[in-house]
Amino acid sequence: MEFEIGKAHRYARPLALVMLDLDHFKIINDTHGHHVGDAVLKLMVQVVKDILRKADVFARYGGEEFIIVCAETSMDGAVTLADKIRQSIEAFKFPAAGRVTVSAGVAEYQDGDTEAGFIEKADIALYAAKRNGRNRVVASGSELRVK
């Protein structure tokens, strides 16, 4: 992240961050057991990796939250990517768990953003997606961009 923020700042290039969270993951663990929850996480990771470019950095952020650092990507491009991921996960058949959905928050780097501030913008958007019904994408700073 530090490297990509440095490039975005230095060369005035777009940089976006997607934060994903599996919806109601605790229910999956509580209903089906942690072994099924672990399998869901692994399969979800594979679904996401099949969509991403090699240049994208995909990492587990904590628990069932993940981030994607999208170099050379505008807000619109990252929202489109996040929604493609959301739709792909919703369509995937997870053995034993059934239908799984994700919510996503998207932020675009603005000159002067710190790493923590950049992540916080995506996190705030993610929680707006969850508050507004889950299984959706929200762009930072704009409730009108809910997909």
Question: CA 60 to CA 65: how far, in whole Å?
Answer: 6
- Alpha-carbon distances of 141 from 8, 57, 101, 107, rounded to whole Å: 20, 23, 23, 8
Domain CATH for 97: 3.30.70.270
> Closest Cα partner for 105 from 126, 86, 124, 85?
126
Active site positions, annotated = 64
Query: Which token pair is 129?
Result: 């997606």
- Please list the pLDDT of the chain residue by residue as tens digits (147 residues): 999 999 999 999 999 999 999 999 999 999 999 999 999 999 999 999 999 999 999 999 999 999 999 999 999 999 999 999 999 999 999 998 999 999 999 999 999 999 999 999 999 999 999 999 999 999 998 654 444
Domain that holds residue 52: 2-145
Sheet holding 65-71, edge to edge: 57-62, 65-71, 15-22, 102-108, 137-139
Number of structural domains in the chain: 1
Predicted local distance difference test score (pLDDT) of residue 141: 85
pLDDT in tens, 69-112: 999 999 999 999 999 999 999 999 999 899 999 999 999 999 99
Question: CA 102 to CA 126: how far, in whole Å?
Answer: 10
